[in-house]
Amino acid sequence: MISITRTRMVAVLIVGAVLATTAPSHGGSPSLADRVIEHKLANGMTVLMVERHQAPIVSLNMTFGVGGVNEQVGQTGLAHLYEHMAFKGTRTVGTRDYEKEQAVLAELTRVGTELEQREREESARGHMEGKAPALSQPVQQLQRRFKELQDKAGEYVVGNEMALLYQRHGGVGLNASTGKDITRYVISLPANRLPLWAALESDRMAHPVLREFYKERGVVMEERRLRTDDSPNGLLYETFTSTAFQAHQYGVPTIGWGSDILSLTPAAAEAFFKTYYGPNNATVAIVGDIDPKEVIALIERTFGKIPASPPLQTLVTDEPPQRGERRVEIEFDAEPALAIGYHKPAIGHPDDFVFDVIDEVLTEGVTSRLYSTLVRDKRLAASVLSDTNYPGVRAPNLFVIAATPLAPHTTTEVETAIYEELERLRTEPISAKEFERVLNGLDADLVRSLRSNSGLASQLAFYHTVAGSWRYVVNARDRIAAVTPADVQRVAAQYLIKSNRTVGVLVKKVPEKKMADAGEVMQ
């Protein structure tokens, strides 16, 4: 083990100060592990609380253990679409008259489902006949009825009412996100508005209404076009990821395949909600100016009466070991780019902590190896970065290195330079000075992630969901500190090898006219 120098000791003390409470205690300042109060409701919902009385505000993070990995074939993108639908309101929020609206929505769902089934049948018939079929009279009638019902349903909608309620009561940072493993809903509020949050969010968990479903589905489809189909980097990563994962659901884009998005139905979204959005699949982290006893009583009154969902089924599909390099090229009218991914273990595995160190060594900061070599010294690349857990953390995933060449240099040159640095990791022990810098950097990252109320709430809810306990964030420091230069060499030699890697290259597409002109010159 490398000895801890004075600089390293100072960093450890700084982190300790951030993890400690500001309130005095008889035994000194307790650690973060002592500050977190955990409460579990009878329905299975977990509440994590940390008192911080520096300002009269509170940050809330509600994380559900559901994401893209939980979708079925033909329903990809459902987790992300439901995240959008969750902001449409409830039986009391977002509507002018729910009883009348409910009847219209039920008829709209029935007509919409029948219309899309008829359209698919006629489209399939047209493909078999080799021509685009004219729409039949029944389909045209369904289209007109569908439009009428959409307009009628729109008359009952109070747009964005939940967000406006939060805004009027001082809420900031209202947001949500869907990933492979989790879906999160976050906001910060004045501390005395915590009852408002509990009322709104328990209502949303118990009684969501999927209003404006078809409209929002179109929004998601447009989002896919913007972020993937028409985006060089989006298309690169989608193709690269689906090449790296051929069995596991990590290979499917979180936003979903285009044809799947267009076939998602209100019934599928409602079934997805009932399966995965129960309180027994939720963790709520609350950090700020709170009294934990009062918070527990509030949560019990609001969320405690929501019944648990049926137990979740365990995912069983594993990605088979990769037995040779996979390469894929994506043509696009854009500048070249490169992504290299190596399969690695999931969160909690001892070697996963070693990859945190490798990530810091290679790309974190201007003194990191790949940045120094590729960007600053040789000027081969305009940028280089790495990701230790792509595209998720709960299952074995990828360590990814990505770079964009700096003209006139090529992706081949950049790729070669990256492999040279990886060879150094395998064959040369990291010096004591560089290793100290790396560990200091990782500690600094931890400080930044826990400094704010929202950051601490995010970390607690995230790790409790994906690692099984919020204590992971505390124990991880010790696990990383135990990593040695020999561990880095061993892990690099085991995982960062050709047979275990997938390479995606974004190739600048040559316009057809230029290709034709080049052909004429060659003749």
Whole-angstrom distance, CA of residue 45 vs CA of residue 38 = 11
pLDDT tens figures, 27-83: 455 778 899 999 999 999 999 999 999 999 999 999 999 999 999 999 999 999 999
Which strands make up the sheet holding 37-40, listed edge to edge?
37-40, 46-51, 282-288, 57-64, 183-190, 172-178
pLDDT tens figures, 206-232: 999 999 999 999 999 999 999 999 999
On average, the pLDDT of the chain sits at 91
pLDDT tens figures, 121-167: 888 877 777 766 678 999 999 999 999 999 999 999 999 999 999 99
Domains of the chain: 61-95+157-302 (3.30.830.10), 326-514 (3.30.830.10)
Tell me if residue 419 falls in helix, strand or coil. Answer: helix
pLDDT at 25 over 80: no
DSSP letter (8 states) at residue 169: T
The residue-averaged pLDDT of 465-475 equals 94
**pLDDT band per the 50, 70, 90 thresholds, residue 26:** very low
Residue 307 · residue 43 · CB < 8 Å: yes
Ramachandran quadrant class, 63 (left: phi over 0; alpha: psi -120 to 50; beta: rest): beta
Pair of tokens at residue 105? 């929505």
pLDDT tens figures, 299-319: 999 999 999 999 998 887 999
pLDDT at 122: 87
pLDDT at 132: 67
Strand partners, 61: 186, 285
pLDDT at 125: 79
Lowest mean pLDDT among 117-121, 166-170, 264-268, 289-293: 117-121
Lowest mean pLDDT among 152-156, 324-328, 441-445, 457-461: 441-445
